[in-house]
Chain A
């Protein structure tokens, strides 16, 4: 099936009164892509979605769908369909009439629209519920009806505003898979807004991480997880430890950094190489860290390069690994995900002083970005 529904935003800006909700955003979503807009609440992701849908108009900039500017067009003429947060299913209509609503307002004859709506209900395995009203359905069933109601308009782009937030954990995992399948089956673009990192990583081919009305990184799921560009993305996506230090020297493609405690790390120097004295940031994946208990409980730093010393304040068993949270002497948190076999061979307890080490290859250089996002409540869970 030919894939349709390419989206292009060119310098889109949205201002609400004095607040700048979207600050000159440009992005391209190739046709037939499953794209997630990811960011903390208030980052502008829903505003961006609503501007693509036509429920809000940008203050400046252009929105193109399949190469055509859709500015000023009403939602239905854009080839987009939106699935609203908590679905907005019409409470007074049966499932069948909800799904047939678009056909009804387009003037399709009753018999024909009922036939098409039944077919669509069948595709989402909900034909048995045609005569029920939304209040009689479970959350997962409502979501399928909402999906059917949107898809019957033959959209090029389906816009989903927090589609899984109304569901419980179990259904969320199941419906997440369903959405991905539907997207493949229909061959159209899905733009899915979420604030849950895990959800975005699991479903999306393209993850767009946003903050403060701007795009920090648009990349594959693996890209944002494994090679975050900025300290913000690294912290928000989680799975990474972020450290910073001043450049001591640069040699053979690597810069040596030293932090305030005297810990030293290497980081690829990049091009152009940084000057001595500059501050640089790096991330290390939590699962690429080795940990060892120290005999001296008063140690505050390690003499070896690429290691830090701190006190264990919490260990959480996660099944196949153990999440060890370490407080560094300056109060920052450092997390090591240790394989459960390795951990229990010589378990660290809360209060133990440990050294955490990593190899130079596990390190990734970051650009620094201030963010409103508070690291203590964020990070990908599990």
Chain B
């Protein structure tokens, strides 16, 4: 674009705006990561009183900060379960939606409604149902279901975006070359869609790992990590809270780097063309 290639003044204004936005986005998070390395005598604000891993150690002292290890394990396991279900079911549904079938519109709208539904509403509803059928709520059934009402619609929308760029002639070409339906899916469709599947997995994992309101009334006796952190915000007034935040974020970042890294590698291998 000739006009913009000259780097007009708007470029510099917007670039500054963008940098400020990024600072706004990351600055505070950076602050708590740094503060989590606060020395044993340090407090909730700057300056740092020495540098230590003291507050990370404090996380494992049961009485002080609640059940960190238990909730952490629970959250990771749940996130993996949600991720697997989200990838499998939204890919299947995404493939189904490529054809018109009876009820497709209804299911689509149900998914969208589920996405914008206030989380605690569902949490309450699911909690009530489990009371009615007299089954105790637990993280691996009721909380799993509650989180899926949030991750499946996301997965489905991502699949729509991914499949809208998928050229159907790949499948026809595979069939033309003698592949069965299963072979076409296994050797052609899934591998080509693989970067999209990783994106769905990333959403499934992180959305579950950080989910709060839907889990609140459905998780049963043991907390997940976000619930634990929420409880801590009112009871813990030490940098241990920040240490917990840092640990949580490390897991999130590991998931993000792993997913985006593998997508980048795959796209690079397919000819260095990064397609958004």
Q: Tell whether any CB of A sits under 8 Å from a CB of B in the complex.
A: yes
Q: A101-B177, A149-B177 are in contact. List 10 more A-B contacts (CB 8 A).
A: A55-B172, A75-B175, A76-B177, A84-B169, A88-B169, A88-B170, A90-B173, A91-B270, A135-B273, A153-B177
Within 8 A of B (CB), among A30-70: 53-55
B182 to chain A, nearest CB (A): 10
Kindly report which residue of chain A lies nearest to residue B182, judged by CB atoms: A105
Stretch at the interface among B18-26, B109-117, B187-195: B187-195
The minimal Cβ–Cβ distance linking B116 to chain A, given in whole angstroms, is 35
Contact A91 B177 (CB under 8 A): no
Q: Does B47 count as interface, using CB distance less than 8 angstroms?
A: no
**A94's closest neighbor in chain B, by CB?**
B269
Residues on the A chain within 8 Å of B188, using CB: 90
CA distance A104 to B174 in the complex (A): 11
B50 within 8 A of A: no
Interface SS of B by simple majority = helix
Q: Is A133 in contact with chain B by the CB < 8 A criterion?
A: yes
Does the CB pair B176–A91 fall under 8 Å?
no
Nearest Cβ in chain B — how far from A255, in angstroms?
51
* B177, B183, B192, B266, most chain A CB atoms within 10 A: B177
- A–B pairs, 26, beta carbons within 8 Å: A53-B176, A54-B176, A75-B172, A76-B176, A80-B176, A82-B173, A82-B176, A84-B172, A88-B167, A88-B173, A90-B173, A90-B188, A91-B270, A92-B191, A101-B177, A105-B174, A105-B178, A105-B179, A133-B269, A133-B270, A134-B271, A135-B270, A135-B271, A149-B177, A150-B176, A153-B177
> Is there a chain A Cβ closer than 8 Å to B272's Cβ?
yes
Q: Are B192 and A90 in contact (CB under 8 A)?
A: yes
Per the bound structure, the CA–CA distance linking A235 and B174 in Å amounts to 39
**B180 an interface residue at 8 Å Cβ cutoff?**
yes
* Interface core residue of A105, A133, A134, A153 (most chain B CB under 10 Å): A105
Known: A90-B188, A91-B192. A101 touches B270 (CB 8 A): no
Interface residues of A in 298-319 (CB under 8 A from B): none
Task: Name the residue on A nearest B174 (C-beta).
Answer: A101
A135-150 residues at the B interface, CB under 8 angstroms: 135-136, 149-150
Q: How many residue pairs bridge A and B at CB < 8 Å?
A: 73
B175 and A91: CB pair below 8 A? Answer: no
In residues 156-181 of chain B, which contact A (Cβ within 8 Å)? 167, 169-170, 172-180
Interface, chain B (partner A; CB < 8 A): 167, 169-170, 172-180, 183, 187-188, 191-192, 194, 266, 269-273
Given contact pairs A90-B192, A135-B272, A76 touches B170 in the complex (Cβ within 8 A) = no
Q: Are B187 and A104 in contact (CB under 8 A)?
A: yes
Find the A residue at minimum CB distance from B167.
A88
**Chain B min CB distance to A106 (Å):** 6
Closest to B193 in A: A92
Residue of A nearest to B186 (CB): A105
Contacts of A82 in B (CB 8 A): 172-173, 176
Q: Which of B173, B270, B271 has the most CB of A within 10 A?
A: B173
Question: Which B residues lie within 8 Å of A84 (CB)?
Answer: 169, 172-173
Complex Cα gap A85–B168 (Å): 12
Bound Cα distance from A92 to B275, whole angstroms: 14
| Structural contact, B269 and A55, CB atoms closer than 8 A | no
Chain B CB within 10 Å — which of A76, A106, A136 has the most? A76
User: In the complex the two chains form, is B178's CB within 8 Å of A76's CB?
Assistant: yes
Chain B residues whose C-beta falls within 8 Å of the C-beta of A105 in the assembled complex? 174, 177-180, 183, 187
Q: How far apart sit A101 and B174, CA to CA, in the bound complex (Å)?
A: 8
When distances are taken between beta carbons in the complex, the residues of chain A under 8 Å from B183 are: 105
> Could you say which residues of chain B place their CB within 8 Å of the CB of A135?
270-273
Q: Check if A81 is an interface residue, CB within 8 A of chain B.
A: yes
Distance A149 CA – B178 CA, assembled complex (angstroms): 12
